[in-house]
Amino acid sequence: MADEDIYAKLTPIFRDVFDDDELMVHSLLTADDVPEWDSVSHVRLVLTVERAFGTRFAASELGALGNVGDFVSLIKRHSQHT
pLDDT recorded at residue 30 = 97
- Measured CA to CA, the distance from residue 80 to residue 82 in angstroms comes to 6
Over range 22-27, report the average pLDDT: 98
Question: Is the pLDDT assigned to residue 19 strictly greater than 90?
Answer: yes
Q: Provide the domain count of the chain.
A: 1
Q: Which domain holds residue 44?
A: 3-80
Q: Using an 8 Å Cβ cutoff, are 78 and 53 in contact? A: yes
What confidence tier does 82 reach under pLDDT thresholds 50, 70, 90? low
- Measured CA to CA, the distance from residue 63 to residue 6 in angstroms comes to 20
Question: Is the pLDDT assigned to residue 4 strictly greater than 80?
Answer: yes
Residues 6+ apart with CB under 8 A from 75: 1, 6, 10, 49, 53, 55
pLDDT, tens digit (0-9, with 9 covering 90-100), for 49-71: 999 999 999 999 999 999 999 99
Q: What pTM value is reported for the model?
A: 0.93
Q: How many residues does the chain have?
A: 82
Q: What CATH number did the domain enclosing 59 receive?
A: 1.10.1200.10
H or E element at residue 12: helix 3-17
